[in-house]
Structure 1
């Protein structure tokens, strides 16, 4: 059995730290994702979306969840490269102060499809790196 991807927990400063720049944007594990995170992102003028991974057990289900949860453009090809392309071209999300991807159900998805979860985490990490040197950073919270 594949072990879970080694990702850091969100530091104590949490979302506030990401928004004020004291915590670097990244891919972080969180115990859970609640509606307060969306409200906090909106207050900071960050574009945020929630990927509901409840019941997702494979790559196809994950990519479908991304298409709907992130409201990806029609040209999204439902493969890893297309997801990477979409996450580095967030033009359909406007021009906020930053971007926040929240997932719910990550631990169950990771247990059901460890290889797909590892690949998804890698795509998120690459996108975070892409946005790290731009005016609007990207952070991903896996809960």
Structure 2
């Protein structure tokens, strides 16, 4: 289950007053603004655009393209988990304060491919938990 982002919103997540997690992006917030706030706070941010994605293969392809996965990404669930728990490919110019992934059009993806969305959500949740307590935590916002 996905939690609603507390009242302090994205700024609270970026300052640590809200613990990293998998949250629903408030309807009053845009993915662009959330990513910009993250970048301003020294976090690495990426937008995963899921419009028109209707199956596992398309989801994995979009992850590879939008997130800039390394060439070794194997286009399967295990490889997705590996990429999200080894973020060496996402580090540029040193260690960021954290990692923010904004998954846009999540509800449409979930409706089109409920089984794939369920597996993807589990992998995203596991990645967030893996990075919790690390110097650079990860958070995921479903928009």
Query: Same fold by TM (over 0.5)?
Result: yes
SS state at 2:134 partner:
coil
What is the TM-score of this pair, normalised by structure 1?
A: 0.93
> 1:14 Cα deviation (Å)?
1.0
Aligned length: 138
> 1:119 Cα deviation (Å)?
0.7
> 1:7 Cα deviation (Å)?
1.1
> 1:57 Cα deviation (Å)?
0.5
Contact 2:8/2:18 (8 A) holds in 1: yes
Confirm whether residue 83 of structure 1 aligns to residue 80 of structure 2.
yes
CA distance in 2, matches of 1:20, 1:42: 12
SS state at 1:133 partner:
coil
CA distance in 2, matches of 1:81, 1:34: 27
Contact 1:33/1:102 (8 A) holds in 2: no
CA distance in 2, matches of 1:91, 1:61: 24
Contact 1:50/1:101 (8 A) holds in 2: yes
Contact 2:31/2:102 (8 A) holds in 1: no
Confirm whether residue 97 of structure 1 aligns to residue 92 of structure 2.
no
Flag structure 2 segments of 5+ consecutive residues without an equivalent: none
> 1:35 Cα deviation (Å)?
1.3
CA distance in 1, matches of 2:41, 2:122: 26
CA RMSD in angstroms, aligned pairs only: 1.0
Confirm whether residue 141 of structure 1 aligns to residue 141 of structure 2.
yes
1:24-75, Cα deviation, whole Å (9 max, x unpaired): 1011112364311121111101000000000001111111110011100000
Paired position in structure 2 for 1:29: 24
What is the TM-score of this pair, normalised by structure 2?
A: 0.93
Paired position in structure 2 for 1:127: 127
